[in-house]
Amino acid sequence: MIVSASYRTDIPAFYSDWFLNRVAAGGAQFRNPFGGGTVAVSLRPGDVDGIVFWTRNFAPLMDRLTPVVDRGWPFVVQFTVTGYPRLLEPSVIRAADAAAQVAQIARRFGARAAVWRYDPILLSSATDAEWHRATFARLADLLRGHVDETVVSFVEPYRKTRRNLDRLARDTGLEWRLPEAEEKAALVRDLAAIAGDSGMALTLCTQPALAETVAGIAAPARCIDTRRLGDVAGRPVAAPTRGNRPGCLCAQSRDIGAYDTCPHGCAYCYAVADRDRAKAAYAVHDDCAVMLGVR
């Protein structure tokens, strides 16, 4: 079984103590956000084939991975670095600091241990297409030699995302929009060329229609990737492909996070309905609890 930690919240940045406590205890639980009920996930040594961390700040966990390494669990860090203005990302670490962390991961754990996520791409009055081209090029230069893949996607109009962006638009005057298919394709072609010049393949996270348009330029991403985990481990890692939505090519995994618990406050986030609620959840969370999101 592959453990995802977590696309619902930033476990390395905010809940590393909780995660390590659950590893020591040999298990965690999460509340099924779709069907209800509680799901138990074993974290016993022989039951975990690998871990995928999703984060914007790996520093709280960087020097504390001995329990993971000692259990022989390979891991990959899906590290989001976008360089957006504070208007959109009020509390994430600076892009240069994030890039330095990615470099540190590569040095310590190998060149296949980190993937750069430049997602989601938001077209707005503060971040137009030319802004993205320039920012992506700057970040790609910082990350050159430390990653071999960058994953991109465009903002999807999920209910939480649309509500948060519309609220920001009302409060600040920001204008945001969903680009047309050809505009997306043109931007992806340019970003793929920049990535290639920096020694990276550009892949698309669950954008099946766009992937068809730019076939041969940007392949579909496999964010939970058994091949990459196997390269890190030095042995095969097997799991069936079982995506989370149409077009997703991720391997089957168990995500141990909880929605509405990440206090980063990114305006486009699909995982948080209200930042104040997420900050409150973080303030009262219990590192000894069996699951996140309980008070």
What tokens does 40 get? 């138990």
Which option is the CATH number for 2-284: 3.40.50, 2.40.128, 2.40.160, 3.80.30? 3.80.30
Residue 99, exposed/middle/buried by CB under 10 A (0-12, 13-18, 19+)? Answer: buried
| Domain chopping of the chain, boundaries | 2-284
For residue 295, what pLDDT is reported?
A: 56
Per-residue confidence band for 33, with pLDDT thresholds at 50, 70 and 90: confident
For residue 293, what pLDDT is reported?
A: 81
33-37, 73-77, 289-293: which range is least confident on average? 33-37
Nearest one of 83, 91, 88, 85 to 116, comparing CA atoms: 83
Q: Show Cβ contacts of residue 211 under 8 Å, excluding neighbours closer than 6 positions.
A: 204, 218, 219, 220, 247
For residue 245, what pLDDT is reported?
A: 80
Q: Tell me the CA end-to-end span of the chain in Å, nearest whole number.
A: 28
pLDDT tens for each residue of 114-144 = 999 999 999 999 999 999 999 999 999 999 9
Per-residue confidence band for 294, with pLDDT thresholds at 50, 70 and 90: low
Mean pLDDT (the chain, rounded): 95
For residue 44, what pLDDT is reported?
A: 97
pLDDT tens for each residue of 58-102 = 999 999 999 999 999 999 999 999 999 999 999 999 999 999 999
Which whole number is the average pLDDT over 160-187?
Answer: 96
pLDDT tens for each residue of 207-263 = 999 999 999 999 999 999 999 999 999 999 999 998 778 889 999 999 999 999 999
